[in-house]
Structure 1
Amino acid sequence: MDKFFSIVRGMGLQRGPQRWLGGVCGGIAAKLNVDVAYVRIAFLLISLLPGPAFVFYLAAWLILPDQRNVIILQSFLDRRTNRF
């Protein structure tokens, strides 16, 4: 699992500091060097179409590192494995 999280960190994509929910749109906007409003509008338009937009956002929130380079899913799995 550590290799997977290293690959994710190596992509250079982080959840952004300009957050409404989880910072995913802010992180994508920072990586693409565009205004976060454009990414949010694009996400809203995609969400109106039938498709997995919510699932994509949830997965990105769990997998993308935040500004401190912490990945929520990795932290959860580490706590869970250290418990047993």
Structure 2
Amino acid sequence: MEEEVRTMMYWNSGGWIWMIFMSLLWIVLIGLIVWAVVRLTQQPSRHDDARGGGPAPRETPEEIADRRFASGEIDADTYTAIHERLARRRASQHR
């Protein structure tokens, strides 16, 4: 009878260990699933390039002027002056 009681006691403590292990296993498994779903459904950031790797390339001054002119931030005279000034600067740098 004493052996029976001892066996039941060890089985009972083993059951608690098993229950804790299974709970942790499920928590980790659910966490991995949530992480995978978030990772797969996440939109790429604005700073990622088209290949999905590094940061987007910096805009050149000409591209900035083009964008600002297209959006109406600057008028045609300012746009022309910017391009002429940039061309002069670029020419002086190459001398």
Normalising by structure 1, report the TM-score. 0.29
Q: Which has the higher helix share?
A: 2
